[in-house]
């Protein structure tokens, strides 16, 4: 913790991030790290049956490199498609509040479990933003979605940005970034206001030391703002976050920390040419708004920024009614 204390004195912004993530890092011990291709084209993807009778009910799509992606497809099939990309280390279940609301409004809502997360396959390699974006393209192309609204939360916002950067917007009508990680989180000479890499190293160490405990500490603390004075704590949200996280692969979720923290999405954001809404809470202790939401809004030409005063990172649950209303209004514009 001495190293963390030293980093905390570097700047007020860094102090905020370090202090709120300290609970996740404090129990870390020295543990050997995992041993450290560009994604293949996804045009040959096909819809397949579940791998075995033990798989949960639902549908799977197989990518060209053999990864099974679990996905949900709710609402009327003739409705405008809205495609959701989830955050780390969660899965498509994290979008339930938005999906059921928008499906009831007549939209077709689709969300997949990212490779290595939830009910999807757990490949050893390919846990990076290029593969994530190409997997999203596989879902969109396999289901032949057109005029789609892409909505990405946190890491999923990076997935949406990289999808547009790699695959363009020919199938896209609009985009929404919610509490999203772009343009880039980690501190560097080019990004002096970012979060020190040592913070993410600490999260990795905590995951290797006791992943289950880490996945309880994060939602119980900074993710939903439950560490704030007077916060109304929901054990149900904490338990659901832990449950979703533990469904993901250990190696996959470990690798994803690098993907969401060190990937630079600046050039991807400059390629956005469709109406874009950026939503971020100004009390986000996981992805601070100044280096993310506000910075992304400046880079995306013509984008609209909505700041939720006092909202935490996990506003898809804590502020779900407002978010649902804002999404519906933006989609209907």
Tens-digit pLDDT profile for the chain (333 aa)? Answer: 433 333 334 444 444 444 445 444 444 433 334 434 434 333 434 444 333 333 333 599 999 999 999 999 999 999 999 999 999 999 999 999 999 999 999 999 999 999 999 999 999 999 999 999 999 999 999 999 999 999 999 999 999 999 999 999 999 999 999 999 999 999 999 999 999 999 999 999 999 999 999 999 999 999 999 999 999 999 999 999 999 999 999 999 999 999 999 999 999 999 999 999 999 999 999 999 999 999 999 999 999 999 999 999 999 999 999 999 999 999 999
Task: Please tell me which residue in 256, 313, 317, 326 is annotated as part of the active site.
Answer: 313
Q: Do 71 and 111 contact (CB within 8 A), yes or no?
A: yes
Model pLDDT, residue 184? 98
Verify whether residue 282 is a known catalytic residue: no
Q: Do 246 and 144 contact (CB within 8 A), yes or no?
A: no
Verify whether residue 179 is a known catalytic residue: no
Task: Please tell me which residue in 85, 92, 94, 154 is annotated as part of the active site.
Answer: 154
Beta pairing class for 172-178 and 148-153: parallel
Model pLDDT, residue 20? 46
Verify whether residue 280 is a known catalytic residue: no
Token couple for 131: 């593969």
Cα 78 off chain centre by: 27
Token couple for 180: 């999203």
Q: Do 98 and 151 contact (CB within 8 A), yes or no?
A: yes
pTM above 0.75, yes or no: yes
Q: Do 183 and 269 contact (CB within 8 A), yes or no?
A: yes
Residue 40 per-residue DSSP state: P
Left, alpha or beta for 310 (phi > 0: left; psi -120 to 50: alpha)?
Answer: left
Model pLDDT, residue 21? 55
d(CA 139, CA 267) in angstroms, rounded, equals: 23
Task: Please tell me which residue in 128, 217, 255, 284 is annotated as part of the active site.
Answer: 284
């Amino acid at each position: 913790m001495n190293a963390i204390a030293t980093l905390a004195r570097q700047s007020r912004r860094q102090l905020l991030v370090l202090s709120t993530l300290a609970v996740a890092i404090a129990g870390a011990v020295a543990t050997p790290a995992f041993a450290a291709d560009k994604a293949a084209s996804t045009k040959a993807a096909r819809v397949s049956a579940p791998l075995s009778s033990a798989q949960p009910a639902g549908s799977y799509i197989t990518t060209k490199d053999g990864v099974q992606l679990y996905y949900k497809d709710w609402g009327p099939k003739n409705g405008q498609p809205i495609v959701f990309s989830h955050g780390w280390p969660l899965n498509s279940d994290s979008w339930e509040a938005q999906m059921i609301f928008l499906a009831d409004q007549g939209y077709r809502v689709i969300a997949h479990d990212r490779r290595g997360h939830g009910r999807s396959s757990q490949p050893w390699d390919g846990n990076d933003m290029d593969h994530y974006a190409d997997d999203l393209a596989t879902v969109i192309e396999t289901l032949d979605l057109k005029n789609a609204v892409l909505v990405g939360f946190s890491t999923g916002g990076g997935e949406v940005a990289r999808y547009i950067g790699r695959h363009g917007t020919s199938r896209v009508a609009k985009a929404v970034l919610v509490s999203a990680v772009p343009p880039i989180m980690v501190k560097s000479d080019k990004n002096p206001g970012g979060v020190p890499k040592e913070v993410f190293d600490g999260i990795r160490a905590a995951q290797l030391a006791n992943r289950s405990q880490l996945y309880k500490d994060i939602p119980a603390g900074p993710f939903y703002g439950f560490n704030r004075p007077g916060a109304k704590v929901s054990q149900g949200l904490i338990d659901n976050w832990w449950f979703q996280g533990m469904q993901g692969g250990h190696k996959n979720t470990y690798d994803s920390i690098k993907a969401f923290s060190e990937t630079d999405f600046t050039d991807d954001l400059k390629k956005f040419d469709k109406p874009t809404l950026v939503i971020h809470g100004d009390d986000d202790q996981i992805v601070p708004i100044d280096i993310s939401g506000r910075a992304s809004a400046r880079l995306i030409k013509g984008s609209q920024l909505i700041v939720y005063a006092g909202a935490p990172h996990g506003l898809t649950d804590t502020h779900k009614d407002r978010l649902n209303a804002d999404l519906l209004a933006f989609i209907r514009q």
